[in-house]
């Protein structure tokens, strides 16, 4: 079996430039920036600017010289911020009433905004979906997802970052939904109520047919992309029904990798049903979205606030671990060119080559304190990171 790479998503004709990071998991949904000139020696990088945006976990998305993210002020309001990407100057902010939902964490928004030709799509912690003018913060439309889908707010809040494909917004929230991008009208919802998860859905194709993969709290669900009808499902257990790692899908849609706090599985999908190819109890990704390089996968295995959590490299073909190393806590990973960029749970930024034979740390610098569960972003030669308290740091080469 060959697992070629994560699916390259054709989400929409975004009004973005080469080198942007316009959505959660990067420009193609692969959790990678395809660059050839990244300097992995972080000692040659410096802090370009910092900002305070409030509590939460939304990543920073970037297009051209604009950067956006979300935070909560712990006093009943959530805010969508827009900064100049090179200087950190605040260009605008839009605030609205929203719940904090601090259950076993500080609370605040989980989902990252998504930039499209129609505007900026954002999802609040309590399920307010809105389309916003990216130039001035004007809210063009807003919809309460819980009411629209007749679902309760999940235990840890709404967490699916909006995915845009063919003029539709796809979200997971107990039910899976497709909304019209321009109006917010519901196009379809899944017929069944599923246990809510905290992952982002993935549109993909298999043999010319379109599907949506959604990892809920208890199972992986495959739906028809056009009408939301269930095609297949596969039970997948996790402690506390807390699944927050987005599925990784091969280019031809034949294999789907899923992971959670109890283990990982590689599934075969033939367009009609799912079958386990391999399963591992040694790879457990509670929050981390991995980086795929050919038949290798890199990510963090373990649970948050556990010193035993490790950075691992394993074979996508059989799940065998090539190497593992500690000192990362429950960190986050992205790929930048041929370099693995890791933000540890304690706020160290680390670089290492994406190689199978051994782990060889290139550099490590301290950039943040508190808890860091938000993955870095890399856009137009800059690195963006944040912690749960809302401190944003932008790094640029000296």
pLDDT 10s digits, 333-356: 999 999 999 999 999 999 999 999
Residue 4: is its pLDDT beyond 90?
Answer: no
* pLDDT at 306 (0 to 100): 65
| Alpha carbon distance 180, 195 (integer Å) | 24
Contact 274/234 with Cβ under 8 angstroms?
yes
69-77 contacts at long range (C-beta below 8 A, 24 or more positions apart)? 69/112, 69/113, 69/386, 69/392, 70/108, 70/109, 70/111, 70/112, 70/113, 70/122, 70/124, 71/108, 71/109, 71/390, 72/98, 72/100, 72/107, 72/108, 72/109, 72/125, 74/100, 74/107, 74/108, 76/100
Q: What is the pLDDT of residues 68-107, one digit of tens each?
A: 999 999 999 999 999 999 999 999 999 999 999 999 899 9
Residue 213 CA to residue 207 CA, distance in Å, equals 15
- Is the distance from CB of 296 to CB of 311 less than 8 angstroms? no
Q: What local confidence, expressed as pLDDT, does residue 246 receive?
A: 97
Residue pair 74/100 in contact (Cβ under 8 Å)? The answer is: yes
Domain 32-397 fold is Methylamine Dehydrogenase; Chain H (2.130.10)
* Least confident piece of the model among 13-27, 111-125, 329-343: 13-27
Q: Is the pLDDT of residue 34 over 50?
A: yes
Split at pLDDT 50, 70, 90, the class of 12 is very low
To the nearest whole percent, how much of the chain has pLDDT over 90?
89
Strands 332-336 and 32-33: parallel
Sign of CA dihedral 291, 295, 296, 301: positive
- Per-residue pLDDT band at 330 (split at 50, 70, 90): confident
| pLDDT band with cut points at 50, 70 and 90 for residue 307 | low
Determine the pLDDT at residue 16.
Answer: 52
Q: What is the pLDDT of residues 47-66, one digit of tens each?
A: 999 999 999 999 999 999 99
pLDDT at position 8 over 50: no
The chain-wide mean pLDDT, for the chain, equals 93
* Block residue for tokens 């927050």: 244
Considering only 229-238, 285-294, 299-308, 387-396, which range has the smallest mean pLDDT?
299-308
CA nearest to 196, candidates 174, 171, 212? 174
pLDDT tens per residue across span 355-378: 999 999 999 999 999 999 999 999
- The pLDDT score that the predictor gives to residue 9 is 32
CA distance linking residue 321 with residue 298, whole number of Å: 10
pLDDT of residue 184 exceeding 60: yes
Which pLDDT band holds residue 17 (cuts at 50, 70, 90)?
low
Average the pLDDT over each of 79-88, 177-186, 299-308 and give the range with the smallest value.
299-308
pLDDT band at 15 (very low <50, low <70, confident <90, very high): very low
Q: How many CA atoms lie within 13 A of 98 on its CB side?
A: 37
The Cβ-side half-sphere exposure at 23, using a 13 Å CA radius, reads 29
Pick 58 or 305 by higher pLDDT: 58
**Are the C-beta atoms of residues 350 and 41 closer than 8 Å to each other?**
no
């Amino acid at each position: 079996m060959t697992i070629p790479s994560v699916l390259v998503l054709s989400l929409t004709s975004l009004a973005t430039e080469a080198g942007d990071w316009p959505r959660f998991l990067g420009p193609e949904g692969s959790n990678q920036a395809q660059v050839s000139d990244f300097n992995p020696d972080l000692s040659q990088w410096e802090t370009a600017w910092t900002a305070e945006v409030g509590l939460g976990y939304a990543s920073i998305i970037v297009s051209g010289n604009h950067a956006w993210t979300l935070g909560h002020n712990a006093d009943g309001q959530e805010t969508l911020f827009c900064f100049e990407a090179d200087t950190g100057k605040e260009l605008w902010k839009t605030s609205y009433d929203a719940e904090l939902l601090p259950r076993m964490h500080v609370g605040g928004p989980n989902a990252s905004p998504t930039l499209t030709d129609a505007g900026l799509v954002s999802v609040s912690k309590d399920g307010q979906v809105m389309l916003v003018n990216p130039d001035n913060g004007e809210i063009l439309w807003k919809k309460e997802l819980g009411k629209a889908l007749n679902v309760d707010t999940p235990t840890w809040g709404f967490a699916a970052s909006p995915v845009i494909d063919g003029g539709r917004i796809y979200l997971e929230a107990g039910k899976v939904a497709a909304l019209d991008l321009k109006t917010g009208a519901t196009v379809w919802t899944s017929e069944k109520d599923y246990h809510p998860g905290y992952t982002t859905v993935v549109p993909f194709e298999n043999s010319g047919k379109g599907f949506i993969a959604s990892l809920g709290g208890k199972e992986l669900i495959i739906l028809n992309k056009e009408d939301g009808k269930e095609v297949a499902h596969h039970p997948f257990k996790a402690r506390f029904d807390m699944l927050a790692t987005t599925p990784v899908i091969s280019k031809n849609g034949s294999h789907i990798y899923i992971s959670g706090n109890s283990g990982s599985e590689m599934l075969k999908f033939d367009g009609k049903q799912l079958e386990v190819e391999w399963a591992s109890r040694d790879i457990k990704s509670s929050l981390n979205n991995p980086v795929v390089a050919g038949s290798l996968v890199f990510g963090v295995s373990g649970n948050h606030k556990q010193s035993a959590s490790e950075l691992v490299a394993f074979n996508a073909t059989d799940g065998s671990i090539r190497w593992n190393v500690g000192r990362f806590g429950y960190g986050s990973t992205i790929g930048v060119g041929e370099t693995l960029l890791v933000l540890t749970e304690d706020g160290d930024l680390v670089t290492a080559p994406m190689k199978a034979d051994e782990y060889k740390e290139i550099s490590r610098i301290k950039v943040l304190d508190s808890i860091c569960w938000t993955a870095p972003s890399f856009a137009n030669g800059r690195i963006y990171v944040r912690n749960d308290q809302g401190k944003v740091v932008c790094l640029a080469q000296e």
